[in-house]
Amino acid sequence: MNVITRTAASIMLLLLALTVPVMAQQKRPTPKPQPRATPAPTFETLVPADSYKIYGEVRGVGQVIRSSALTDLIEPILKLSAPPKEFKTVVKWLNAHSEDVMTSRLLVAAWPTGNIKQAPETLIAIEFATAEEATKFAGTLNEFLPTIVPPQPTPEPSPKSTEGPTTTDKPKPAAPPEPGFHLQRLGSLIVITPRPWTMKQLKPVGSKLLVEDANFRAAHNRFSTEPVFLYLDMKSIEKEDADWEKQVEEQRRLAEEQAKREQAEAKTEPKKADEAEEPGFVPEQHVEPQVSAQLEAVTSDKGIGPDPVSMALTEIGSSFFQGQPEWPEGIAFSLSFEGDSFDLRALLINQAGEKVDALPFAPMLTIGPALSLEAANIFPADTEILATMSLDLPQIYATMSKPPPKQVYTKTRGIPAGTIEIQTESPFVAIEKQLKISLKDDLLPLLGSEIALRLPTNGANMVALPGVIIGAPGATEKQTNNAAPVLAIAVKDKEGLRALMPKLLDNFGFKGASSLMQTERREDTELVSFGNVFAYAFVGNFIVISTDVASTRYVVDSYVKHETLSSDIQFKNSTRWQPRPLQGQLYISPALMEGYKTWAQQSSTQVSDQVRTFLTKATTVAQPITYSLSNEGFGPLHELHIPRNLILMAVAGISGEINPSPLVQNERTAIGMIYMIVNAEDEYKKKNGGAYATLEELMTADTVLKNTIEKSGYRFDLTINGDKFEVSATPIEYGKSGRLSLFMDQNHVLRGGDKSGASASASDPPIQ
């Protein structure tokens, strides 16, 4: 019995030992699964697609800050323009911390789309190698940014009631102003925005990454090595423009319906006898020049309009910039400045197989096949500007020949309205009638696709730099050779065009031109001139045309002597970078920079000594400007190389204009007063029977401001001699109140220069 009892007890204890842990586990609460931590965004995963219209990158931020290109650009700004204190503070801080961001990348996203309405307007991100480096730099930024970004004022709470304060109310202390920026660290990134934001606002559910967009990825890979990269989302820009146009069209439609209702109500209401009839609503119509002339011919009694050929030529010129442009879905820009030039590239990128205009601002300018670049083989070696492009002339003709829709014009001063429908015709119709040929069948088959233009740099100008007379002193022969534009068009059938040219000239209006025609032959070239009015020549595979006979003859002579642009070492070296094949090319010779150097050294140039020093230094080595248009398969690629020194000249010129010295200000004031006196004399002569006035009489009549003259730092002398007058301005304190001495008479030509304080006269050279 005891044995059975002990055995049963042992079994019970064993069952209890096995059961208790199981019961304990059943009673113990099951732990909830912990959510997986969201990984911090990276440089590539921060910005989603279709979020911002502008996306930019700077690679190697510290290297860019320390680059000579940037420091050279900042130098004239700091020394000449007197920038604000904040600008100097930023420059100093960037130079001090460039080592911290030596290999960092900077991201800038701006102009958000409608897909992320709650996202910040601008987002700036800086990438670091580790989260620790980002944390350290974030502290430095938090200390610096408040010094340049003003805080946002805290809005005052609206009062709860209009009753006055009670004895128990205590004024609450003013809340501290909110910072003007929001900074946060996300892993190895520092993100700066104007206001706080959340990742959900930036990246809505279902959004894809920007790097997953095919257009962006292709452009980003193409410009992966350039220090500065910029991408414009043209697809989003055009979508918003289309939405805005729909809204405008809807508003216009509602306005028309409202006007019709008001007109209908006006018919049913009796009018008062003295109530004037209001004009009916007339939608605004855009009238093209040709349509306007045709409309005038239809509605006028005489039906006399302008010359149809002149109208057609004007219409053709303006048509290149009309029509619906085919913009790409994206435009990518890159900038590099490692050598002696700033190299700017623009890639117009689209989905494969979709058409895009190489020059969207000129949609009618259809680009032709790749160029053989033969224009440089016929133009002279001293060509100052060469612009050449491949154009599909038959396609351009076909596109511009399509008749546009009928234009409906309403002319009314009440009800009912009169309507006129005008069917505009192709601008080529009038020209073909005049020439008595079919351009499509008779002329275009004779021509090739390469069109080139030789231009002088005389009068060319840049930002903050004027149009100047190009050429070193005494280089009159060179200036004469480059005096006029020369057009060159590739020719497929030289004999056919040679036979057609006399007919074209005769029908175009050069009646009797054959009596003035002179033909000159030099080896395998032929030049045909008509007095001193017009000339053309067959040179190589081109026909060369110009209104200046000497310029045409110079092209022929240079070709015969083999002194062409293609043999010029400067042209060869500066265009060596251009890809092949090309569809367009631009070359601006060093003559442009040489002209600015001459201009800067002239005593009459109105710049301060500091600006003159910068300009002279920058033009020590004159270099050309080059450009190319090509297509590597992604889309049209534009590439422009501008000499660094030329950019420095522009920056120095702008900086000098922002903060001119008192001496330069006095000289400009004196020039303005000279013109004011001369104009006042002209007006006085008209009103007083041909007599001129003394300076005192002009000041008494308030046509010349006495106070301005007295404070100008110049002494003005006015001499009258019958129907002539002379006015001069001389600095009161030479070298302090001014250096230029000025002179002008009734011929309105400003003359003078640095006369060391002596008066200027009619024998001094003109001042630009």
217 confidence band (pLDDT: 50, 70, 90): very high
Token output for 551: 């310029």
The answer to whether the CB of 741 falls within 8 A of the CB of 753 is: yes
- Low-confidence winner among 107-111, 226-230, 697-701 (lowest mean pLDDT): 697-701
Amino acid of residue 261: R
Altogether, the residues listed in the chain come to a count of: 768
Secondary structure, 3-state, 619-644? CCCCCCEEEEEEECCCCEEEEEEEEH
Query: Which residues share a beta bridge with 738?
Result: 734
Which pLDDT belongs to residue 688? 84
- Low-confidence winner among 4-8, 40-44, 609-613 (lowest mean pLDDT): 4-8
5 confidence band (pLDDT: 50, 70, 90): very low
Separation in Å, CA 631 to CA 335, 451, 637: 18, 18, 6
Which pLDDT belongs to residue 263? 84
Instruction: Output the average pLDDT for the chain.
Output: 82
Which pLDDT belongs to residue 11? 36
pLDDT (average), residues 256-261: 87
The answer to whether the CB of 531 falls within 8 A of the CB of 516 is: yes
Torsion of CA 103, 105, 106, 112, to 10 degrees: 180
* Tens digits of residue pLDDT in 723-745: 899 999 999 999 999 999 999 99
pLDDT greater than 70 at residue 35: no
The answer to whether the CB of 541 falls within 8 A of the CB of 495 is: no
Of 285, 522, 486, 254, the closest CA to residue 387 belongs to 486
Of 270 and 122, which is predicted with more confidence?
Answer: 122
Dihedral angle sign, alpha carbons of residues 75, 79, 82, 84: positive
pLDDT greater than 90 at residue 341: yes
279 confidence band (pLDDT: 50, 70, 90): very low
How far is the C-alpha of 156 from the C-alpha of 136, rounded, in Å? Answer: 35
Of 628, 641, 712, the closest CA to residue 677 belongs to 712
Of 451, 766, 490, the closest CA to residue 603 belongs to 766
What is the rounded end-to-end Cα distance, in angstroms, of the chain? Answer: 135
Separation in Å, CA 457 to CA 263, 384, 460, 468, 550: 60, 6, 5, 9, 17
Report DSSP state, residue 403. Answer: P
pLDDT (average), residues 1-30: 41
* Tens digits of residue pLDDT in 285-298: 444 444 344 334 33
* Tens digits of residue pLDDT in 93-139: 999 999 999 999 999 999 999 888 788 999 999 999 999 999 999 99
* Tens digits of residue pLDDT in 152-174: 766 555 555 455 555 555 666 66
Dihedral angle sign, alpha carbons of residues 71, 76, 78, 81: negative
pLDDT greater than 50 at residue 694: yes
- Low-confidence winner among 438-452, 494-508, 570-584, 746-760 (lowest mean pLDDT): 494-508
- Report, in this order, helix, strand and coil percent for the chain, each rounded to 5: 40, 20, 40
Is the bond into 416 cis (omega within 30 degrees of 0)?
yes
* Tens digits of residue pLDDT in 460-510: 766 666 655 444 344 455 566 777 899 999 999 999 999 999 888 888 766
pLDDT greater than 70 at residue 321: no
Which pLDDT belongs to residue 600? 81
Report DSSP state, residue 259. Answer: H
> Which percentage of the chain shows pLDDT scores above 70?
77
Which pLDDT belongs to residue 174? 62
- What is the pairing mode between strands 447-455 and 486-491? antiparallel
Q: Where are the alpha helices (DSSP H) in 358-508?
A: 393-401, 427-435, 476-481, 494-508
Which pLDDT belongs to residue 59? 97
Of 376, 727, 409, 688, the closest CA to residue 555 belongs to 376
656 confidence band (pLDDT: 50, 70, 90): confident
Secondary structure, 3-state, 497-566? HHHHHHHHHHHHCCCCHHHCEEEEEECCEEEEEECCCEEEEEECCEEEEECCHHHHHHHHHHHHCCCEHH
81 confidence band (pLDDT: 50, 70, 90): confident
pLDDT greater than 50 at residue 617: yes
pLDDT greater than 60 at residue 689: yes
How far is the C-alpha of 456 from the C-alpha of 459, rounded, in Å? Answer: 8
Which pLDDT belongs to residue 245? 87
pLDDT greater than 70 at residue 538: yes
Global pTM value: 0.80
